[in-house]
Structure 1
Amino acid sequence: PGPVPSPSDETRPSGNVVLERLSGASRVETSVELARADFKVGAETVIVARADVFADSVAGVALADALKAPVLLTQPDQLHPVVADEVKRLQPNGGRVVILGGEVAIEPSVEAALVKLGSKTERVAGVNRAGTAVEAAKMLAGLGKLKQVLVADGADWQSALVAGPAAAEVDGVTLLTNGAAMAPETAAYLKDISVPVTTVGGNARKALPGKRVVDGADPAALSVAVARTFFGRPKAVGFATTAAFADALTGGVHIARKHGPLMLLPASTPESVKGWLNGTPSLERGYVYGGPTRIGDTQVERLTK
């Protein structure tokens, strides 16, 4: 885990775009803040994922969008108290809770704690991260929400999480490779379906040659390439640090609901991102995920100047 972000709810205009910071005292509490921002009167479905590993949660971005559900992060071996409180707020009389990953990812004690709250739990889980993504794809297919597939490196959270909001935007899902090699679970599933497939990032391109490619020289450039490919005239954009995955995961869920792309930023905003921002006049709002230790206030102020 990276440094803990500081709480902040500042909203400041930058150019013609209003920028809002959404964060909590930790990655878990940031996920709760995002749920509160989007689901003020409850949610029929809640998704729970582990806070310390990204892979099982990759498919959760498109799944959360399709199910109109927030994603809450917790420790793998216990239900975090603030998450328990948020589940009770969202579902005071109990409700559906989808757990991402098997019992190794989220231990039975977490599920038992959710059941004690009155939740009706179910798991989306495969034998590994690629298998879990496939199981999410099957659920989306059952909802009529599998019109495209994006394939990203299952060992690289940056490409996988940038792909998440794009997959949601095109009624698709993100499936995973094993680095530059194709994951057997992904390969088998792709043989069974006939929808457009796009690889996101260099390793996915190597693992699945011959498909449409979206790539960039670095995570920020990849973010821009994904935005240009999948988002025509977005009104919103999300920003998360390149330093750690958690803000990009729950931020990806939030910005997918706003029909916008996710931009990954290093400590200094690259010209590729500035160029995209300045060349996208449809933008009205930007959301910065995580506190100033992630993306500093000065960097935020300069984003669209």
Structure 2
Amino acid sequence: MSAASFRHAGAVRRRVAAILALVLAVSVSPFAPAASAATWLVEQTDYPGEPGSIVTRTGDGLVPTVRWRGETRHDTARLIAADDSPFRAPFETSTVLIARGDLFPDALAGSYRAGQTDSPILLTQSDQITGQTLEALEELDPESIVLLGGTAAISAAVEDELMATYGDDNVDRIGGAERYETAVLLAASGGDPETDTAIVASGENFPDALVSGALAVSEGFPMLLTRPESLTAVTAEALNDLGIDNVLLAGGLEAVSQDVEDAIADLGIDVERVRELGAGRSGTAAAFARLAVERYGYTDDHLQLATGADFPDALTVAPHAGLEEAPIVITNASGVVDAELQAYLDETVSCDFAALHIAGGLLAVTTDVEDTAREALTTGPCAVQLAPESATNLVGETHTVVAFVTNSADAPVANETVTVVAMPASDPSTATPTPESQTMLTDESGTAFADITSATPGEAAIVACVTGPEGGDRCSDPVTKTWLAADFLATGLAGPRGVDIGRDGAAYVTESGFGGDECVTTTVEGPEGEEEVEFCFGLSGAVTRADDDG
């Protein structure tokens, strides 16, 4: 062992000693049995699965993904809204919002309304409802439907069709003469907001505004729109009417100009521009994701991924992301993982990362993009387990413990250094576990074996540790090992053949017994042909338990 390795092993041993001392001083609780290697691997769902379904990928050594694989943008919205899997968002589907699927402003502004009612957003064509949206409505069976936008966005024919099915009183429309007025009406539709913060985004270009909808849902921030070059009058008026004191401005100067920022500031409002300097759409999305995690308490163990080349999937996943308080990130305009998205994935990776959700089919987010993201978000080693939980041997006998090392996807980690430390389980203790510390590498199944013995009776606590991706030690729960002195004497045994120590510390002796007068005759094949042979047996075979009390 090199000097550096020796110092590392010693440091691990000292830290483990402190852990063991604390654990054993407070209590001794039963430890869960170590999982077998078979429980780590989950059978992988066939991929890419069927269009129009929710596809899960797991069990291949990378963090799991859940893809809402819609055949179209309308179908992806259906899958997100009607998802009844364990990965669903807690939608309150008594109200459903419907926006036009080929224009982004109304769906973006509708994120605020979705947050007020915990509702999903479905998409429609301007002049007719697609079959996939009708299917979603049938599955959700809402009591109320709200159309986002005026009749120029969603025609009166669509409204009439919905009223014929769900009733005139159950279909509402929130829409103005144009997109900016619609956003203002949506912001005012829930009464006075419970916050003094609003989001202002471009009403002309979607890229920098895409992922801001999640914060509108989770934080109740009204979503207002503006022209890129100048603050629209109806938006300026709404900022005053809503009592807004703080504005999150979505994107860089190409999305929303400095003139707009200055005009908002002239209203006496503090403006914070959310962007990465010099970054594109994926960088702005990453900036919103960081803001959501660091300021608003979003989780960093669950992430939504959508294409940045188009808007529908990122918009319809926003209510899911907001209710789950999990950020959205997007690819660049070419639909690939660029340096800005890669940097955010590298920041996010941890042993606690649970799942990546993907909004859209394989044309929207390719399998190459998915695999790149999964590889970036997978790390290890993250956990180590020891087995068996407890065992008993005679003094001088060797005990083997088995360490299992896994990554953030619960998959085995090969060629990983494991340090196993054995120490007396109490102070004072007469056990002398040897060696006290040893290191070994895991094999292809993530398994490593350590042999430990003791020249004296007593109990030892054993812990295995690996160095985690963050640099700190990740250690198993302690397991226990007891060595007993062979100082008992058993007499009167009927043909003793073997001895072993049970979990209760007693010795168990197998006895073959002696022959008796119970006989049977059978025919066997002998050297000269078949012959009859008599076998006699007794009933004295046994397993005898011997302990300190005799």
Query: Could you state the TM-score of these two structures normalised by the residue count of structure 1?
Result: 0.89
Indicate the residue corresponding to 1:114 in structure 2.
162
Q: Is the alpha carbon distance of 1:194 and 1:117 closer, same or farther for their aligned partners in structure 2, counting shifts above 3 Å?
A: same
Amino acid at match of 1:215: R
Q: Distance in 2 between matches of 1:187 and 1:254?
A: 29
Q: CA deviation at 1:169?
A: 2.8
| Paired residue secondary structure (1:244) | coil
The equivalent residue for 2:289 is: 227
CA contact (8 A) 1:115 1:121 kept: yes
Aligned partner of 2:206 in structure 1 is 157
1:275 to 343, 360, 378: 343
Higher relative contact order (CA 8 A, sep 6+): 1
2:267 equivalent to 1:215: no
1:230, CA displacement in angstroms?
2.3
In structure 1, distance between residues paired with 2:61 and 2:240: 47
Are 2:114 and 1:67 equivalent residues in the alignment?
A: no
Q: Percent identity?
A: 27
- Partner amino acid for 2:55? E
Partners of 1:39 and 1:90 within 8 A in 2 = no
Structure 1, gaps ≥5 residues long: none
State the SS of the aligned residue for 2:325: coil
Q: Of Structure 1 and Structure 2, which has the larger fraction of its residues in helix?
A: 1
Question: Which residue identity does 2:104 align to in structure 1?
Answer: F
Q: CA RMSD in A?
A: 2.3
Deviation of 1:64 (Å): 1.2
- Distance in 1 between the 2:315 and 2:331 partners? 14
Pairing 1:246–2:287 present: no
Instruction: Flag the 1:264–1:190 CA change in 2: closer, same or farther, 3 A.
Output: same
Q: Report deviation, 1:15.
A: 7.4
Cα distance in structure 1, aligned partners of 2:106 and 2:307? 20
Query: What amino acid is aligned across from residue 227 of structure 2 in structure 1?
Result: N
CA–CA distance in 2 between the matches of 1:20 and 1:88? 23
SS at match of 1:198: strand
For residue 214 of structure 1, what is the amino acid of its counterpart?
V
Task: Please tell me whether the aligned partners of residues 6 and 293 of structure 1 are also in contact (alpha carbons under 8 angstroms).
Answer: no
Deviation (angstroms), 1:185: 1.1
Within 1, Cα distance between the matches of 2:184 and 2:215? Answer: 17
Deviation at 1:81, TM superposition (A): 2.5
* Higher-strand-fraction structure: 2
Tell me the distance in 2 between the aligned counterparts of 1:54 and 1:26: 16
The residue type paired with residue 328 of structure 2 is L
Amino acid paired to 1:254: H
State the match for 1:284 in structure 2: 354
> Does the C-alpha gap of structure 1 residues 40 and 258 become closer, same or farther in structure 2, counting only changes over 3 Å?
closer
**What do residues 18-60 of structure 1 show as CA deviations (whole Å, max 9, x unaligned)?**
3211121111111111111147997210101111111111112
- Give the conservation status (yes or no) of the 8 Å contact 2:217–2:318: no
In structure 2, C-alpha distance between the alignment counterparts of 1:29 and 1:44, rounded to whole Å: 20
From 325, 330, 342, the equivalent of 1:264 is 330
* Aligned counterparts, 1:117-132, within 5 A: 117-119=165-167, 120-132=170-182
Moved more, 289-298 or 207-216: 207-216
Q: Residue 27 of structure 1 contacts residue 247 of structure 1 at CA under 8 Å; is this kept in 2?
A: yes
Q: For 2:323 and 2:61, how far apart are their aligned partners in 1?
A: 23
> CA offset at residue 145 of structure 1?
4.5
Determine if the alignment matches structure 1 residue 24 to structure 2 residue 70.
yes
| Distance (whole Å) between structure 1 residues aligned to residue 191 and residue 329 of structure 2 | 27
Opposite residue 215 of structure 2, the aligned amino acid is A
Residue identity opposite 1:184 in structure 2: A
Bigger drift between 175-184 and 38-47 goes to: 38-47
C-alpha separation between the residues in 1 aligned to 2:55 and 2:127?
33
Q: Secondary structure at the match of 1:103?
A: coil
- Structure 2 CA distance, aligned partners of 1:285 and 1:145? 32
2:104 is matched with which residue? 54
TM-score, scaled relative to structure 2: 0.51
Whether the 8 Å CA contact 1:46–1:70 is kept in 2: the answer is yes
Which amino acid is 1:57 matched to?
Answer: A
**Which protein is bigger by CA-based radius of gyration?**
2
After superposition, the Cα gap between the structure-2 partners of 1:141 and 1:215, relative to the gap in structure 1 and judged at 3 Å, is farther
Partner of residue 36 from structure 1, selected from 75, 82, 94: 82
